Structure 1
């Protein structure tokens, strides 16, 4: 139950610990027990981390994991084409088995690239069986997973019975409520959904951005503020284009924001709002969103966000974006006491990156190198609560060949049923 990661370059993301050019990390009973330049002899399993960067696991605060089978199909889609293609054409053809395979392979992909904590924003909830299949997959896959139940994509239906059913099966820290929100339903329904979440002890997440349009002639954040619906338990996804006064409202209420830089830039939401949020006092988090349109790794998300922000105003540095992807993501999920940094007492959610790979060697500035040139192929090892789930560049446990074959069968059936091509030539109307 004791393991020492010995001799690596430690990028702790904890100001009290700092970065260690050569350091040891002691794991005991799944938690970080000590971090030092040299812990000396220890009665523990030794993991040689020489030539590795030791980093806290990434936290993805918003991913529609069920869409994994259609990776890349929406690379050229606008947001409206995504809505028409993924939700109008493909989603109605999903069966529970399809949801299960998408969530399982998607979560495995995420952990393979270093995402140790992930919020699954699930909006393929057409049936209770779909939701159960999504949860089953998350529980089978390695990693800390939060099931964010997006019960319904609009309308005024009563989601209470279904949310209560699932909440009875999941601990609060493993579940959130994905709001329909004031841009897809009425403010009364939004208020009722938040009241339900508060009663059940659930945090909430809601999509808001200018591409959806502002209902009833006013902005949605202000409407929520007027109803007293903003607080530190609320995460706003995207938030592109909201007025400065509404950004200030989020900051005053202690809300968090999840930014998906690749999807936002590609689909026309507007520039990712990292700089505006930080200037207002909000520490944003980062997320992938959907792999039909964007890559599934946090290295790419950090790099896109950084390149755009520095192109806009030259502000923010590499460590800011590493913080967004680790400690700030943990805070947005209500898990800042458990993960996001290499801090004594936190879960041992740790990555070993190959610092001798030609893509990043020599590593002169670890944080800058991870931001500028990091990629999933560098992830040598992944530890989740002290348990190794990837070592030597290979995932431990899952039969990927068998699962991949099943996912292809699922994808082909859905595509055939929808009558669409998978080569990028299909553009939804």
Structure 2
């Protein structure tokens, strides 16, 4: 069993029993964390310098439609869910093949790893048949990411005389095939969920719940994931963040839709913090308590918790990931604090403040999933030649989908340009 030792790092464990360290070590044995503490006396096959680095849990993207990756950059000016459904589900999605889904899921998952997300909940609602379903799972497995595959269904245009998609029963046979086949265990990196109602249901968005409805939902054991960037863009009510906290619940965060914006959990975490602080400030002002005489209720560390343990708890993964603790899977990221995004905050600055308010993807030096580096020295650990071929193929997929779907709201580039997906 291989042993990796990260030396002299600033550690945000997100586990109260472990605590945080200004300078300490992490010993990793195989796929798990073996020990955390200052000056560990341990032999290792590899020693990684953690000096001037912040080590924290990999982020958990609790709501993403990964298949939409090749449709980036087309939806920010759409009007709410009306245009989203009209352009994606009722038009472009109907031209997706299994290969298109594979490409979107693979490049989308690799992009999540590059951005410091080690776990995604892939809310996959483009699945017409078993071939497309298997292609989506193939891509997740190849990427090396930890994923909950939320098996959804397509949302095609309603046709006269036909039963609309929202009245059709969920395909039980497909869930049975997956649960008794390739996703039969909950111990692998990719596990199964049903994107429908259930006693351990996770709700995406939920912004319109009033307080009575919210209490009913939470008392029933449900969790709620805020995709606050989407909700700031297209929803009439604020994201479900502080309201959940007031009920004793933990928010989880997701990026949602690549066609709208960069699906970086750093972005989502930062904006979740800022959005809730804005709401807090307005509430304090309305109550005549502004400026606040006491500490704000929402802190940068809270936002990190939402982006890590919040998502892990929502999907029953908190025993595996979401925090750094002995016995847990070694899902972690290392942030180099010496770059100009962060400098000179690295000299005595609050690590949680640095992560939420300064760090960008370029500062994420290393990413590890289950004890294996998937990003190293600022670059994805993925065959560069294969990645270049995949990016060419994905761009061709995008252009074909635009052509076949008669999508003309944006200019179309003139052919693929190799190697444009920068690792």
TM-score bracket for this pair, using the shorter chain length:
0.7 to 0.9
Alignment partner of 1:53 is 2:22: no
Tell me the equivalent position of 1:377: 362
1:171 pairs, out of 161, 184, 191, with 184
1:254 pairs, out of 218, 221, 227, with 221
TM-score, with length taken from structure 1: 0.85
Residues 417 and 275 of structure 1, relative CA distance in 2, 3 Å threshold? same
Counterpart of 2:133 in 1: which secondary structure? helix
Give the superposition deviation at 1:41: 4.9
Alignment partner of 1:155 is 2:172: no
Give the superposition deviation at 1:171: 2.9
Tell me the equivalent position of 1:394: 379
Tell me the equivalent position of 1:3: 4
The CA deviation string for residues 105-151 of structure 1, in whole angstroms up to 9 with x for no partner, is: 00000011111111100000122221111111111111111110013
2:107 pairs, out of 102, 105, 108, with 105
Tell me the equivalent position of 2:292: none
Counterpart of 1:290 in 2: which secondary structure? coil
- Matched ranges for 1:241-280 at <5 A: 241-280=208-247
Judge conservation of contact 2:300–2:352 (CA < 8 Å) in 1: yes
Judge conservation of contact 2:368–2:374 (CA < 8 Å) in 1: yes
Judge conservation of contact 1:251–1:281 (CA < 8 Å) in 2: no
Paired residue total: 375
Tell me the equivalent position of 1:223: none
Structure 2 unaligned spans of 5+:
156-165, 282-296, 413-423
Judge conservation of contact 1:415–1:422 (CA < 8 Å) in 2: no
Give the superposition deviation at 1:158: 5.1
1:317 pairs, out of 287, 293, 299, with 299
TM-score, with length taken from structure 2: 0.86
The CA deviation string for residues 317-347 of structure 1, in whole angstroms up to 9 with x for no partner, is: 1111100111111111111101111101000
Counterpart of 2:357 in 1: which secondary structure? helix
Counterpart of 2:91 in 1: which secondary structure? helix
Distance 1:424 1:331 in 2: 42
Tell me the equivalent position of 1:92: 94
Give the superposition deviation at 1:424: 7.0
Counterpart of 1:53 in 2: which secondary structure? strand
The CA deviation string for residues 278-319 of structure 1, in whole angstroms up to 9 with x for no partner, is: 101110100011111122111100111111111111441111
1:410 pairs, out of 375, 397, 407, with 397
Judge conservation of contact 2:178–2:184 (CA < 8 Å) in 1: no
Structure 1 unaligned spans of 5+:
180-189, 195-230
Judge conservation of contact 1:73–1:424 (CA < 8 Å) in 2: no
Tell me the equivalent position of 1:350: 332
